[in-house]
Amino acid sequence: MRATIALLPGDGIGPDVVREAVKALDAIAQRFGHQFEYRQALIGGCALDATGNSFPPETEQTVLAADAVLLGAVGGPKWDDPRAADRPERGLLALRKTLGVFANLRPVRPHPVVRDTTPLKPELVEGVDFVVIRELLGGLYFGQPSERRMGPAGREAVDTMFYSEPEIRRVLRLGFELARSRRKKLTSVDKANILATSRLWRELANELASEYPEVQLEHVLVDAAAMYLIQRPASFDVIVTENMFGDILTDEAAVLAGSMGMMPSASLAEPTNGGVRRGLYEPIHGSAPDIAGQEKANPIATIQSAALLLRYSLGLEAEARTIETAIDEVLAAGARTADLARPGEPVIGTKAMGDRIAAAIIRAR
Ligand code: NAD
């Protein structure tokens, strides 16, 4: 296969971890005889510095011409001025919108050997293997009006939670389809006792359920979902929810995976004719300016994101599994970056972790 992959390393540890994911992709290309062509472009703070725009037109062209996009992270204290007209995060929102990626998938499957890095009791994390799907292009993040203004009682502000039927339906459908390919359980999270958008969400979930009789659908209120994620995380298979609830619940779910450095994500657009989807793949962590360029970042979340890219945008399931198995093997052999190590355990750097995973891919049978 020939594929074009846009690389947007971004800021902070972004370049450190994307470099290691490219190593894993190169190893896959070598092992399976594929040709991946990389096109690198600027986004976020580095794009602001170079061009004055967090999402320059050249970057837009690069991502639109690519089969998939691999992103590091954006942001940092240098660009934190809240009064600035453009900010790194705007670049990220613009990128998502440009690609039409409406669903963010975050698999949570804590690796057995790093299970004791979670603050939860190890037996609670036993058997945890679920995916959260967060709606990404609607709700409070895009609804209008969203503004500050002067009212009769002084300063006031408003945000708007808006969802249309097609926006809800397409993300719910992805949830049902993913659940159908897994353990056939879909948890739809809403706040239907309070919010009109949630009542519409629940109604549409119930309507779609008749098309997927083999999938068991449950509705859980978002406050209860926050509790169950900690109390009984192994009971979930696929969770689907709107933008803001998903933003919060996925960070909570990340705690189960032991470290931010272990959580990948895939943001998917509508499928094309061939059934593959254009996608944006990135670790869920930020740019970690405190450890940038110091060989301290764990590249696994980004390498796992590259595996998701192979699975969802290129349809290369065996290759995706090869990366995942290589990560499991390297961790089982004792390799630990600082975020994964217990006190006194030896630690390796970003590049060494990437090298070991690439070597395990090449060795894979
Ligand atoms: P962060 O995720 O960057 O870091 C939180 C903590 O986790 C830090 O101590 C960091 O060192 C550690 N960490 C993160 N990734 C790690 C990795 N791969 N390996 C080892 N340790 C890791 O969150 P933050 O500090 O709140 O934000 C830093 C900057 O990143 C901010 O400018 C923020 O706006 C931005 N941010 C960007 C994204 C994104 O690009 N998608 C997401 C979140 C935050």
Higher pLDDT, 273 or 43: 43
Shortest CA distance to 134 belongs to which of 98, 175, 95?
A: 175
Classify each residue of 50-82 as buried b or exposed e, where b means 16 or more C-beta atoms within 10 Å of its C-beta. eeebbbbeebbebbeebbbbbbbbbbbeebeee
Kindly state the tokens that stand for 332. 């089982």
Active site residues: 141, 191, 223, 247, 251
User: pLDDT tens for residues 293-310?
Assistant: 999 999 999 999 999 999
User: 18 in ligand 1 pocket by Cβ < 6 Å?
Assistant: no
Higher pLDDT, 70 or 273: 70
Diameter over CA atoms, the chain: 70
What's the pLDDT score for residue 33?
96
Cβ neighbours, 10 Å, residue 273: 5
Beta-bridge partner residues of 265? 282
User: 8 in ligand 1 pocket by Cβ < 6 Å?
Assistant: no
> CA-CA distance, 62 to 18, in Å (whole number)?
17
Q: Which domains does the chain have, with CATH numbers?
A: 1-109+266-365 (3.40.718.10), 119-256 (3.40.718.10)
Amino acid (one-letter) located at 104: N
Task: Collapse the DSSP code of 307 into the 3-class scheme (helix H, G, I; strand E, B; otherwise coil) and give the result.
Answer: helix
Band (pLDDT 50/70/90 cuts) for residue 225 is very high
- The reply to whether the predicted model has a pTM over 0.95 is no
Cα–ligand 1 centroid distance for 134 (angstroms)? 19
Higher pLDDT, 259 or 210: 210
State the average pLDDT over residues 55-61.
98
pLDDT at 112 over 90: no
> CA-CA distance, 160 to 295, in Å (whole number)?
42
Position in ligand 1 atom list of the atom nearest CA 73: 40
State the average pLDDT over residues 211-225.
98
Band (pLDDT 50/70/90 cuts) for residue 120 is confident
Best residue among 78, 90, 92, 287 to mutate for probing ligand 1's pocket (most ligand atoms within 8 Å of CB) is: 287
Position in ligand 1 atom list of the atom nearest CA 285: 2
User: pLDDT tens for residues 137-184?
Assistant: 999 998 999 999 999 999 999 999 999 999 999 999 999 999 999 999
pLDDT at 210 over 80: yes
Best residue among 260, 304, 327 to mutate for probing ligand 1's pocket (most ligand atoms within 8 Å of CB) is: 260
Band (pLDDT 50/70/90 cuts) for residue 117 is confident
- Average pLDDT value over all residues in the chain: 95
In contact, 21 and 302? CB cutoff 8 Å:
yes
User: 16 in ligand 1 pocket by Cβ < 6 Å?
Assistant: no
In contact, 256 and 125? CB cutoff 8 Å:
yes
